[in-house]
Amino acid sequence: DTEVTQTPKHLVMGMTNKKSLKCEQHMGHRAMYWYKQKAKKPPELMFVYSYEKLSINESVPSRFSPECPNSSLLNLHLHALQPEDSALYLCASSQEASIGTGELFFGEGSRLTVL
């Protein structure tokens, strides 16, 4: 079982809705990530938080807003999404702030459908 927990597992929302995806890890990891994965495509990096500070934003549209309330939690706030934003959103964490070992621990993902 994964040690990174994501909720909800499935989410359906309209283009005018506001929703949030949540991620939690209790491994004491110092970095947390949001990835987006479309069907039959690799995960694409969206955001990286190191020591609770945003360190990487891969030019993600502002309708996606990340938040890191503390070292164990990572949220992704969603507002005015488009149907093409439908995807699997994966949260991950790594022990070190720099991915020296390359081991990312992924959650099972939140499957988002935008109508």
Partner 1 sequence: RKEVEQDPGPFNVPEGATVAFNCTYSNSASQSFFWYRQDCRKEPKLLMSVYSSGNEDGRFTAQLNRASQYISLLIRDSKLSDSATYLCVVNPQHGNKLVFGAGTILRVKS
Interface contacts to partner 1, rule CB under 8 A: 2, 31, 33, 41-45, 48, 50, 55-56, 90, 94, 97-104, 106-109
Q: Between residues 35 and 64, which has the closer beta carbon with respect to partner 1?
A: 35
Is the alpha carbon torsion for 37, 108, 45, 84 positive or negative? positive
Task: Determine the Cα–Cα distance for residues 59 and 46; give it in Å rounded to an integer.
Answer: 8
Smaller CB separation from partner 1, 6 or 85: 6
| Nearer of residues 5 and 17 to partner 1, judged by Cβ | 5
Q: Are 32 and 23 in contact (CB under 8 A)?
A: yes
Rg (alpha carbons) of the chain, rounded to whole number: 13
* Distance separating alpha carbons of residues 30 and 93, to the nearest angstrom: 8
